[in-house]
Amino acid sequence: MYLSRDVDYVLPPSTRIAMLAEAMGSVGFNRTGDRYNHPNSRFFVEFPAGPLAIGSDLAPRPVRVRRGRVVAWSLSATDSCRDRLAAHYHWKDRQALRVALEIALRNRLLIERIRVWSKAEGCLPQFEEFQRALRRAKSRRRRR
């Protein structure tokens, strides 16, 4: 399985780079190009230019995630799956397809929303490939 080594945050357009660098530096991150690295973490942080989008959908629906007292906004499982499918659809990224399948196996998704979006992306055949692969993966899991 694929494990990403970065965390991406899309910030509001009003965010000033100098303030971002100062805030990240205050908690121990060092900037190298577009990445912020921390000596105690194997992950790095990036802030890609917005707007937040999944394929041509410029309005994904972030969800609130709470871990103890920490609250953050994140992509839903459905939108995370769509994001990985977008990489598969548009760049033929097979690893992204495998990640989309893992997301689908571990979460409840709004499959019809993914189908409608896939159709709008002009990628209905690839969505059908995803559905076939998902059925096979679920079948394999049941046999175990």
- Give per-residue pLDDT as tens, 21-45: 999 999 999 999 999 999 999 999 9
Total tally of structural domains belonging to the chain: 2
Question: How far is 44 from 31, CA to CA, in rounded Å?
Answer: 10
Residue 89: inside a domain, yes or no?
yes
- Asked, for residue 24, whether it belongs to a domain, the answer is yes
Residue 12 forms part of a structural domain: yes
Residues 6+ apart with CB under 8 A from 94: 88
- Tell me the per-residue pLDDT of 48-71, one tens digit each, with 9 for 90 and over: 888 889 999 999 989 999 999 999
- The CA-atom distances, in angstroms, between 34 and each of 7, 9, 46, 84 are 12, 12, 6, 22
Does 137 lie in the same domain as 90?
yes
Q: pTM above the 0.75 mark?
A: yes
